[in-house]
Structure 1
Amino acid sequence: MRILVTGGAGFIGGHLAESFLRDGHEVTVLDSLEPFYAEGIKQHTLNVHRQVAAKTDVEYRFVEGDVRDIETVQNVVRGADIVVHQAAQAGVRESVDNPRKVTDINIDGTVNLLEAAKEADVERVIIASSSSVYGKPQSLPYKEDHPTEPVSPYGVTKLTQEHMARVYTELHGLPTVCLRYFTVYGPRMRPNMAISNFVSRCVNGEPPVIYGNGQQTRDFTYVADVVDANRTLLESDAADGDVVNIGSSDNISIQALAETVRDQLAPELEIEYESAREADAEYTHASVEKAGELIGYEPSRTIVEGVSEFIEWYQANREWYEPLVRS
C-alpha cells in the first residue's frame, strides 16, 4: 500500500510513518519542518524513518513542503492509496497569539489536501482532529455527539476540518475519517507538553511547574494507541464519514500527574504554581465506546503506566533528546 503522511516528521505523524514502514508499506512524508519546536527532534525522526526503510527494503520518500502549497500537495497525493493527514499548526496558545496562521495551515491546507485526494481518487483520508473541538464540558466523558463549542482558534480549525471532511464524503464520495485525539504523549513528544516538561525538570532537580491550581484533568493518550487506530483504518471502512474519539478512557489531574512524575524521579522537590494559561481546556475525558465498536479500539495503557514508560524512554534517550527539550 502507498501511504502519504502529512506532518510525518512531527510527533504523531513520525510514529505513524515509522509503523507503516515496519509493516512494509511504501511511505511518503510531507512536512514543512516548521520550527514550532526544536527541529532536531524532527530530524531524528526522519533518520529513524530512513533506517527502518533500509532495514525493511521498502520505498520511502521525504518531501519538504507545505500543505498550503497546492501544487506540492497535488504532487504528493498523486499515486497514494491512503492519505493520513497529521499536518497542522499545533498549540492552543499559539493559535490565540496567531489565529491567522493556524487558520491558513489547518483549514486552507486541509481543503488543498481534500481537493487533491478527490482528484486522485484515493481510497481514504484519515484526518487528525482533536478533543479541543468539544470546549466546555456539559457532561463527561465526552461522547462524539457532545456539543462542540471550542474555546480556542485551534479548536475551531479542527472542527472546521471535520465539517470539510464530512462534506467531501457526502458530496464527492471521498471516504474520510476524523480521529479526535486526546492529548497524545510518548517517545519523541513535543517538549512543551506537561509530561515532557515535568520529566525534564525533575530529572534536572528542578521543581515541576503547574499553570493554575492543578485541579484541571486530562485524558492523556499513549502514542502507540493512536498508531494502532490509524493502522486499523488503513483497511477498514467501518468509520468512513464519521468522527471517532481516540483517548485512554482514563484521566488524571495535572496535580496528580506532576506528583506521579515527581515521586518517581525526585520526591524531595516541591511543586510550584503559576497563573493559568488562557484557552486551556479545564477538563478532558474521552468515551472510546464508539471507537471500540467500529474499529475494535482498546487503550493499551493507563496514564500512570504510560507515564512510567515515557520516563524510562526519556532516561534512555536523554543524551540527544534532553538538549532539544530544554533549548
Structure 2
Amino acid sequence: MKISITGITGLIGSHLIKLLSAPNADGSTNSVKALIRENSIVDHLKAFEDVDYVIGGLEDKESLQQLVEESEVLIHLAHFPGPVKTADELVKVNINGSFDLLEAAKNAKVKQVIFMSACAVFGSIQPDVGESSPLDESHPVQPSSLYGAIKSSIESFCFFHARNRSFDISIMRPVTIYGVRPDLPKSEWFQTVDFLATNYNIDVKGSTKYVSVDAVCQAVIKVLGNKEASGKIYHLIDGHIHNLELGRMISEIVDSFGEVEGVMGEEGVAMSNQAARDLGVEFKGLDGIKEYVKLVHELQNKYGGERHVENW
C-alpha cells in the first residue's frame, strides 16, 4: 500500500512508522512517504531507510502536493504548535495548511484519509452525559480552546470531502497520549518520574484521561484500508487517573524516598471507547501506565537525567 504521512517526527508518528514498515498480514509491504521539517529531530528515523522523505511543512503547498502524489492513503498526524507571535499564525498554518493538504489529496486521487484529531474538540458537555450515558462520538462539538477549534475545523474539512466523494475518511480523537517521545524529556510524566527517581518531593493536583500511544497506533492500523471504518470517528481513551494517585504509583515503581503530596482532581466527564473496542483496539489500563513508567525510568537511568544532562 502506498501511504503518505505527516507528523512522523512526533510521538504517534515515531511509533506508527515501526508498524507501517513491518510486513503486512498478507506478506505485502507498504511504500511510505513522509513530510518532515528541515530542522526536525530525525535520529529515531535512521532505521527506516525505505521511507521517502519530503522536506517541507503544512505551509508549503508544493511539498504537500509532492507528499500525496501517487499515494493511496494519507495519514495526517501533524499539528504545528509554534512558537508563534500571534494566535492567527497557528490558525493559518494548521487550518489553511490542512485544507491545502486535503485539496492536494483529492487532486492526487488518494483513496483514504486518516486524521488525528483530539477530544479537545469538546467544550460544553450536554447535561445528560454521565456514567450511565458516557460521552460518545455523537456528542455535539463545541470547542472551548483554540487547539480544539483548529482540530474541529479540520474534521469539518474531512467530512466535506467525504460527502463530496473525494476520498474515504476516518477520524481519531485521543485524550492525553503517553509514550516515549523521540525527545525523551518531553515524554508524558517524564518530569515526575525524574524528580521522584532522584528522591525529590513533588506536589501534584488535577487528573488526567489517558491512552497509550500503542493503542492509538493500533487504531490507525485497524482503519487502514478498512471500508467499514469509512466516515467514522473513534474516541481513543483508556481511563482516568488522579495525578496524586499517579504520583504515588510512580513513586512506588521507582522506589523513591521523595514524598508525593497534593490534592485529588475532579472525576472528569465519563467517555465511551466502545467504538474503538469494536474496531479491535486493546487498552491496557493501569498496567499499561506501569509498563511505561518502568520503561521511562530505565531510559532515564541509561541516559542520565540531571546527572548526565549532556546525554539527553
Task: Give the alignment's TM-score, normalised by structure 1.
Answer: 0.81
What residue in structure 2 maps to residue 148 of structure 1? 141
Greater Cα shift, 134-143 or 150-159: 134-143
Mapping of residues 152-163 of structure 1, within 5 Å = 152-163=145-156
Quote how far apart the aligned CAs of 1:48 are. Answer: 3.9
Quote how far apart the aligned CAs of 1:117 are. Answer: 0.7
Mapping of residues 152-231 of structure 1, within 5 Å = 152-188=145-181, 191-192=185-186, 194-210=188-204, 214=205, 216-231=206-221
Q: In 2, distance between residues paired with 1:291 and 1:109?
A: 28
Q: In 1, distance between residues paired with 2:267 and 2:244?
A: 13
Task: Give the alignment's TM-score, normalised by structure 2.
Answer: 0.84
Quote how far apart the aligned CAs of 1:193 are. Answer: 5.7
Query: In 1, are the aligned partners of 2:5 and 2:32 still within 8 Å (CA)?
Result: yes
Quote how far apart the aligned CAs of 1:272 are. Answer: 5.7
Return the match for 2:93 from 105, 109, 112. 105
Q: In 2, distance between residues paired with 1:90 and 1:296?
A: 31
Quote how far apart the aligned CAs of 1:285 are. Answer: 4.8
Return the match for 1:238 from 228, 238, 251. 228
What residue in structure 2 maps to residue 298 of structure 1? 282
Quote how far apart the aligned CAs of 1:98 are. Answer: 4.5
What residue in structure 1 maps to residue 67 of structure 2? 76
Mapping of residues 242-253 of structure 1, within 5 Å = 242-248=232-238, 250-253=239-242
What residue in structure 1 maps to residue 35 of structure 2? 30
Query: In 1, are the aligned partners of 2:178 and 2:188 still within 8 Å (CA)?
Result: no
By percentage of residues, which structure has more helix? Answer: 1
Q: How many residues align?
A: 297
Aligned-partner SS, 2:74: strand
Query: In 2, are the aligned partners of 1:142 and 1:284 still within 8 Å (CA)?
Result: yes
Quote how far apart the aligned CAs of 1:168 are. Answer: 0.8
What residue in structure 1 maps to residue 26 of structure 2? none
Quote how far apart the aligned CAs of 1:128 are. Answer: 0.3
Query: In 2, are the aligned partners of 1:67 and 1:109 still within 8 Å (CA)?
Result: yes
Q: Measured at CA, do residues 220 and 206 of structure 1 come closer, stay the same or move farther in structure 2, by a change above 3 Å?
A: same
Q: In 2, distance between residues paired with 1:157 and 1:282?
A: 26
Q: Letter of the aligned partner of 1:31 in structure 2?
A: I
Query: In 2, are the aligned partners of 1:197 and 1:208 still within 8 Å (CA)?
Result: no
Quote how far apart the aligned CAs of 1:229 are. Answer: 0.8
Q: Measured at CA, do residues 11 and 231 of structure 1 come closer, stay the same or move farther in structure 2, by a change above 3 Å?
A: same
Q: In 2, distance between residues paired with 1:167 and 1:325?
A: 48
What residue in structure 2 maps to residue 20 of structure 1? 20
Q: In 1, distance between residues paired with 2:164 and 2:310?
A: 44
Q: In 2, distance between residues paired with 1:98 and 1:273?
A: 35
Q: In 1, distance between residues paired with 2:70 and 2:38?
A: 23
Aligned-residue CA RMSD (Å): 2.9
What residue in structure 2 maps to residue 55 of structure 1? none
What residue in structure 2 maps to residue 131 of structure 1? 119
Q: Letter of the aligned partner of 2:14 in structure 1?
A: G
Quote how far apart the aligned CAs of 1:145 are. Answer: 1.8
Query: In 2, are the aligned partners of 1:198 and 1:209 still within 8 Å (CA)?
Result: no
Which deviations, in whole Å up to 9, do the C-alpha atoms of 1:121-159 show, x marking residues without a partner?
111010000011112444244211223222210011011
